[in-house]
């Protein structure tokens, strides 16, 4: 079975390829199917709605079973901001580092025990042949670090997010460990049975 990964985010694409690597499917990127320039407006008000907007648009355009996700970061001390729009936080034209620095700036003076936050990831899968769309949600509790972690890897807000039970950020815990505990890793674990069923049916 071919499975199209509906994202233009290189970091997310790499992470999903890693998480889905044990599945007996051929993973395709948007560029692989000629949709590299296709942009889907994410103008809904929930992660579920945005994930389904993307997955339905890409599956319809490609004719392939498609997976897409939408991720939110909710910081309690900021009344839940940046929420469902972490990639737009601070306005247009900012780099991921700029957005992380804005987040840290807004939390300046907030003590460590008040910096609680959580990542949520909704993964949706759509089969254009059957019309089926299924979505699942994974959540990772944690907190926002006092400063950016420049020692590791990761992408997006990984350098400032410390998962619960750890004393280092996503950037420094290692790819395998991150994939086991992260919001996206937990959501993938829930969607894998759906993908296996679709592969058997196709």
pLDDT recorded at residue 200: 87
Band (124; pLDDT cuts 50, 70, 90)? very high
158 is catalytic: no
The CA distance from 115 to 162, in Å, is: 10
In the predicted structure, residue 195 carries a pLDDT above the cut 90: yes
Q: pLDDT band for 201, please (50, 70, 90 cuts).
A: confident
In angstroms, rounded to a whole number, what is the distance separating the alpha carbons of residues 104 and 96? 12
- Is the separation of the CB atoms in 4 and 59 below 8 Å? yes
What span, in angstroms and rounded, lies between the C-alpha atoms of 129 and 55?
A: 14
Domains of the chain: 2-201 (3.90.950.10)
Catalytic residue among 69, 70, 149, 158: 70
pLDDT of the residue at 121: 97
Q: With 80 as the cut, is the pLDDT of residue 54 above it?
A: yes
- Per-residue confidence band for 175, with pLDDT thresholds at 50, 70 and 90: confident
What is this structure's pTM?
0.93
* Strand locations in 9-115 (E): 26-28, 66-75, 82-83
Tell me the per-residue pLDDT of 143-157, one tens digit each, with 9 for 90 and over: 999 999 988 778 899
Average pLDDT score, the chain? 95
User: How large is the angle between the packed helices 183-201 and 10-19, nearest 10 degrees?
Assistant: 60
Report pLDDT digits (tens) over 80-122.
999 999 999 999 999 999 999 999 999 999 999 999 999 999 9
Answer whether residue 22 shows pLDDT above 80. yes
pLDDT exceeds cutoff 90 at 184: yes
As beta bridge partners, residue 140 has 119
Instruction: Kindly state the average pLDDT of the residues 42-53.
Output: 94
Q: What percent of the chain has pLDDT over 70?
A: 100
Angle 76-69-116 (CA atoms, 0-180°, nearest 5)? 15
């Amino acid at each position: 079975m071919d499975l199209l990964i509906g994202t233009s985010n290189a970091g997310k694409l790499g992470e999903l390829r890693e998480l889905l690597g044990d599945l007996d499917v051929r993973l395709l990127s948007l560029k692989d199917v000629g949709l590299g320039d296709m942009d889907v407006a994410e103008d809904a008000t929930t992660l579920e709605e945005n994930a389904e907007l993307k997955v339905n648009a890409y599956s319809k355009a490609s004719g392939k079973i498609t997976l897409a996700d939408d991720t939110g970061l909710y910081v309690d001390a900021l009344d839940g901001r940046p929420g469902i729009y972490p990639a737009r936080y601070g306005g247009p034209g900012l780099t991921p580092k700029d957005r992380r620095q804005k987040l840290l700036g807004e939390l300046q003076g907030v003590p460590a025990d008040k910096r609680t936050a959580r990542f949520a990831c909704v993964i949706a899968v759509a089969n254009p042949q059957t019309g089926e769309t299924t979505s699942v949600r994974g959540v990772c509790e944690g907190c926002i670090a006092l400063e950016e972690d420049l020692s590791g890897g990761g992408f997006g807000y990984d350098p400032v997010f410390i998962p619960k039970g750890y004393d280092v950020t996503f950037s420094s815990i290692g790819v395998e460990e991150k994939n086991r505990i992260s919001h996206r890793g937990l959501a993938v674990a829930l969607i894998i049975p759906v993908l296996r069923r679709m592969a058997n049916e196709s």
